[in-house]
Amino acid sequence: MSIATRTGDSGTTSLLYGQRVAKDHPQIEAIGAFDELSAALGTVKPLLGPDPRSAEIRTLLSATQQNLVALMGELACAEADAARYAASAFEKITAGDVRRLDDALAALEARGLSFAGWATPGANATSAALEVARTIARRAERRLTALPGQGRTVRIELRQFVNRLSDLLWLLAREAEQAR
């Protein structure tokens, strides 16, 4: 079986339960932005060192990527199938996932990081990669926020998660700058 199904040649793609939509449909745009975000987080991980703090960050980023898979899954169904998805065994972002990001934010804020120079990213490869991920997170957040205007309900936990994530990435970039 080939990965090239050719079903998208007409400019459409399939949502989770089979409904077809245009490849530029707002839900597909949102899913694509979160997919880019996950890939960007993946580029940060090999830049992290072998030290215990880097291992903590790598674990946090990996868990976040798993959360993004769950988020994309939830966005990948039509509004008419939202209740079916909610009742499914698919993993979903929870208040606990948001709390994990809040806890990580609080721990970083307690470190007394300097915010000097934040407007010009690139102090080192790790901070630059985190800034790219942060800007993609903000774009994904804008795509997510637009969905209710297109008739797609978005749970509050999804909005909270991505909002906290972009803040976390900003602080991680500050920490990486100071580690150079």
What does the pLDDT read at residue 7? 62
Question: At 148, phi and psi to the nearest 5?
Answer: -60, -35
Write the pLDDT tens digit of every residue in 44-99: 999 999 999 999 999 999 999 999 999 999 999 999 999 999 999 999 999 999 99
pLDDT at position 15: 82
Strand 20-22 and strand 12-14: the pairing is antiparallel
CA distance to 10, 64, 69, 98, per residue, from 23 (Å): 9, 25, 19, 30
At position 172, the amino acid (one-letter code) is L
**109-118, 149-158, 170-179: lowest mean pLDDT where?**
109-118
Q: Which residue has the higher pLDDT, 9 or 116?
A: 116
Phi, psi at 20, each rounded to 5°: -100, 140
The domains located in the chain, with CATH, are 12-178 (1.20.1200.10)
The rounded radius of gyration (Å) of the Cα atoms in the chain is: 18
Q: Please report the pLDDT score of residue 8 as a whole number.
A: 66
Q: What per-residue confidence (pLDDT) applies to 121?
A: 81
* Alpha helical stretches, state H, the chain: 26-44, 52-75, 82-87, 95-110, 125-146, 156-178
Cα 72 from Cα 29, distance rounded (Å): 11
